[in-house]
A and B are shown apart, each in its own frame.
Chain A
Amino acid sequence: MAQFEEQLDAAMAALRGQMRSSGRSVRAVAKWSNNQRCATNNAMFVARVDDDRLLQRTSLAPEFGQSPFALARGARVEQIGRANQYAVTVSLLREHFGYGIPEVVALDLRHGFQPNNIGMAQRARATERALQAAIRDERDAPNIIDGAVLRAQIGGFLAHLEADGVGAKTGPVFHVNEYKGWPVVDGRAHDAAKLGATVAQMGIYRYLLADTIDRLGGDPDTVAGTGLLITPRNVGLTLVGNPIRLAGATRLAEHTLANLPHPRDFIGSLPEGLDFGAVARGDHEGSRLDALERITNRLGTRYQESCMGNCGLAKFCRARARASGSTSLVGESVARFMPGVVSLPRAAALADGATPAEGEVVTGAASVLAAAGRLYREKLSGGSLPPIAAVGGGRAS
């Protein structure tokens, strides 16, 4: 078994090439899950390729990534939450989850452990001991497990995932706590996308927490359906608690974790001499992009709108999609109206009255596009209306 894992590890190292591997984390899972049907994304996930760095120093390098100010603010928020023996966190748990006055026992797993796999394994064991104490209703069982580490099988390997915090109210009732540096302004998240990503992350923690409790002989139903998101209020640094319903996110997490790609499916997927390291290294942009072109041609890609905020190859894939006139360029919600239509120029032609093919008729896309074309012409009737293809509907560059 261990030998098989070693072989898998070696195969993934070969796929990765001469690149530092990225860690197995909930953030990486959430990032991957944005586009589960992209084979290149799947290959990068199993080989632990850091796609954010892959195209650095090229014209297609991604521009996202957290600003140092956002990182500092996030660290400050966590510091405030933990200051004075978790005073603010205790107060928020009392306010939102009805913690009793004596429920102030905190377990700090962020300090006193080595920052490596050995330390993470020790923290996972300490987390399980604390959860077991809560399950058995022991008197001094921790109520706040700061930096709890949960085990999960990710991409065929055992991974240790670090949660911001796990709360354990007497009963027991467990729940996940998450600190975030972005603000909640007038009761609404400042950035809906960040909130969505956080909820997905909390869903994974909740699922893993329930799984751990089940493994320890406890009742997974003791994990509350609500988690506590702790963020600053408005522009200041006063922390507020935001209870978040996690039932849907947990179902999604279960589905996501069950469908993680497996390394064995990617053994030998690239020809000898071709790996992701060839894209990351070297000073000549042309040869690096050429290597990536060969990898993506071999594995396949599936560009979609959400790639722009999640994948380091997004600009590269968008350029490919432009070149082929892919319908994915106009966004998922619009592309969904055009099943069976192979490209944007074809969609423009159908709107301008081209004869539809059988595949375009049976999906209903042809009639929708013809109707759209009719409406367009009626709206701007008077003879000056150019055909849709001529105003950019068919632009493919």
Chain B
Amino acid sequence: MPASAAELMAQVAKLTLQAADLLAEGRVAEAEEVDRRAAALRRRAMRTAREEGAAGAATAAYAPAQSDRDMVVEGLTELDAISSPRLISDFVLARYGRHVNARLFSSLRRDERDAWQRWTQGRGGSRLTFVVPALEGTFFTTSRGLVALSMWPLARRIVGPRTGRVELLRAARSVLSALAWMRERDTAAAVPMERLASSLARTVPGAMEGWRVGAIEDVTRAVEWELRELEQADRDWREVAAARALTQLTEEEQVLGSAGPHVVRRASGGIA
């Protein structure tokens, strides 16, 4: 009997913890492999969840509606990349036909911060993951307009000089993968996803011929090619930063970001 979505997600959580342990021991290559397996499993879990949802459509009227927050988590899980609210909103609309206002994110981030603090203080909460700000990689302050999931390893939540482009390419790859799946099942529903894919892939050299996304394999190949060129240097930078963050930041700061450097003044008013 195939595993349920919840079981698969539990396995993902175990793998993520395993990856974190490996990173702490400095076994980066192994951690990376485990993280890849976790990502694949996560995608499978979400696919299974959707199929289970479709099978149980008769009882859908009694199931609680998914909140905007859940949609954001699902969107980020599928995109598998640090993203801007606008990109998540566009993806959720194309993927689930659900409109999530990008302006929701500032209040969502506040709610998530409060929920995380409640959870760590043992005051309740059952969330598996939190929507958290990506961390700027020099002083680990919150990165403006970029969000991630707390279950991702710290290095994946840090933004380095080339991370913007790398994460965009990762998101493009996920969108293309969703597009391939949607094209097979429902051509009409795939149109918004195709529009999103073309807006992301248009700036990748050799990805597009004209205005439309042609063969998905060709576009994905072009995206992968640019990603390969950038990913290693970006990963190295972020891992060095993550190692520094682990030694310098509290657990809360590792998730929600630090206050950043500030001028310290002596009582007399002079700068210390």
Please report A residues at the B interface, Cβ cutoff 8 Å: 83-88, 90-91, 94, 101-102, 104-106, 108, 111-112, 140, 142
Contacts and interface: CB of A to CB of B under 8 A. Distances in A.
Interface string B21-60: 0000000000000000000000000000000000000000
B165, B168, B199, B230 pick with most chain A CB within 10 angstroms: B165
A255 B160 CA distance: 41
Contacts of A94: 205
A83, A85, A94, A112 pick with most chain B CB within 10 angstroms: A85
A85 B169 CA distance: 11
Given A84-B200, A85-B168, A105 B161 contact: yes
B226 interface: yes
A108 B161 CA distance: 11
Contacts of A101: 205, 226, 229-230
Contacts of B164: 85-86, 104, 106
Nearest to A90: B203
A104 B230 contact: yes
Interface of B is mostly: helix
Nearest to A89: B203
A83 B237 CA distance: 23
B161 A140 contact: yes
B206 to A, nearest CB: 11
B191 interface: no
A170 to B, nearest CB: 13
Contacts of B233: 102
Interface residues of B, number: 21
B168 A102 contact: no
B144, B161, B205 pick with most chain A CB within 10 angstroms: B161
Contacts of B205: 94, 101
Nearest to B211: A238
Interface of B: 84, 86-87, 144, 160-162, 164-165, 167-168, 199-200, 202-203, 205, 226, 229-230, 233, 237
A84, A86, A91, A142 pick with most chain B CB within 10 angstroms: A84
B237 A91 contact: no
A112 B168 CA distance: 22
Contact of A104 (B87, B165, B200): B165
A228 to B, nearest CB: 15
A343 to B, nearest CB: 60
